[in-house]
A and B are shown apart, each in its own frame.
Chain A
Amino acid sequence: MTATAPAPSPSVEALRAAFGTAILSHAVSCGDTIVLVDRHRAHDILAWLKTTPGQEYNYLTDVTAVDYRDPGQPLEVVYQLRSLGRKADLRIKVPLDKTGSLEVDSVFDLWRGADWLEREVFDMFGVTFAGHPDLRRILMWDTYAEGHPLRKDFPLRGNFTRAEQTRQALAANPEANYSIEELSIADAFSELPDDMKRRLAAGQRGELS
């Protein structure tokens, strides 16, 4: 049996035709096609891949990021796409130069499922997603001050001593952003009376009598 170089997904040629130099390079690894794209056009490219007939990558499997040990290597934000109808996969990577700002446009407007995935990447890698409606930490607590744990410059045991970590963890308020009341109010927001909506939108909270 002769080994043949696996062919990349036909989406690569279509992308090159549509976006030209914004497509930086592509590779095939373990049968998966990986396309590296320019960070400024990433949102356009992902929107194009979602809506263009013949592509229809309508399911965002995952958003994650990779920080390489070599400090010269850029940090990569990874979008794993799947077309449910065509049963095809495509991986888009957006390299971000670590000397510049780590920022890409949020794809929350394309896939609602990107909400928590982008929050996780923000929490673990410090990548900010422009246009994300609620970009805050999701795994570590809100007042976590040690940095972004999955970055290669983050020490395994954290930046603070165990005593300081314990002190800060005990000082955290677990109900700060996740109280049952706030979550259930958010769920039922559309059914609330108008005056209550106005008060909540203005940041007012009720008083216990």
Chain B
Amino acid sequence: MDSIERTPQMGDDGVSENTKGNKRKNPNVHRDSGKFPYLLIAPALIAIALIVLYPLIYSIYVSFTPYNLLRPEKTFVFHFDTMFKNYVKMAHDKIFWRSWGNTIIFLLVTVNLSYVISLALSQLMARVTRGQSIMRTMLMAPMMFAPVLVGFQFAWFFNATVGLVNNILITFGILSEPKAWLVDQPWGMIAIMIAAIWMNIPMMTIILLAGTLSLPKDVYEAADVDGAHPWQKFKHITFPLLKPFTLIAMTVLSLDVARAYDIVRIMTGGGPAHRTEMIWTYAGRMAIRNSQFGYASAMALTSVVLGVLFTLYLFKQLIKSRVVY
């Protein structure tokens, strides 16, 4: 409510007032302010244009050719009539569709479960009276681990012969013989999801916790007077008021959803028999092992579309909820 009142001020920035005021004091400022923000953004834009946009456009071009790294002279040629060959091949590639299916299931499960767990954890941590800051630091532990490390770590835990999971289950007599977690369906996928959720939780929880701690106390006092149950308070006050924070947490997550590649690549490599194949690993293998850069680029571009749409949607919501220009 408060935020709606202050947003016009934020948007207007008082810039127009400034420049009016400055016209009297310092005539140069008004002329500068037109170019100034663009000058500030220019270095960032140039870097991104050179290192992200240009390669992406190049990648579109490559995807229209049958580029094979082993025979570049022969294959890196563009023919108008065969330009969509990779895309046609892709449409008929069962493994491509399967890896997309896996990717969507993986994202749906990990994003939602990460959110539910983080929400619960943030509510619990907001009520902690002793050792808040130590607990926060503990919570951040997975953030200190590179995604590759998370992958290695869980690959080790779920390893069939030396893994800790089998070791514990057999020691306690729950399992009689070692289970090949990363090979058996659907356990391979579940193991990867556990690793990804473990990695996602800290950032989400920290943001939701910051949100929970900043909520106005008077609303809860009013609810107490009305005799609301804890669950009612959560459902009708905390959850709706946390929406902007949920959006921020989701956006941060969406900026790098593909980091799951690191985990999958190490834990299962997409196998066995494409059971845990994701679009990123399939495209990656097509380029690295099969040297088919044309085809791999076409597939990778479909994953770019997913990433961009996802982030675009969340950022639009975020901008709408935050600042009105």
Q: Are A and B co-members of a single complex?
A: no
Binding site for B on A (CB under 8 A): none
Binding site for A on B (CB under 8 A): none
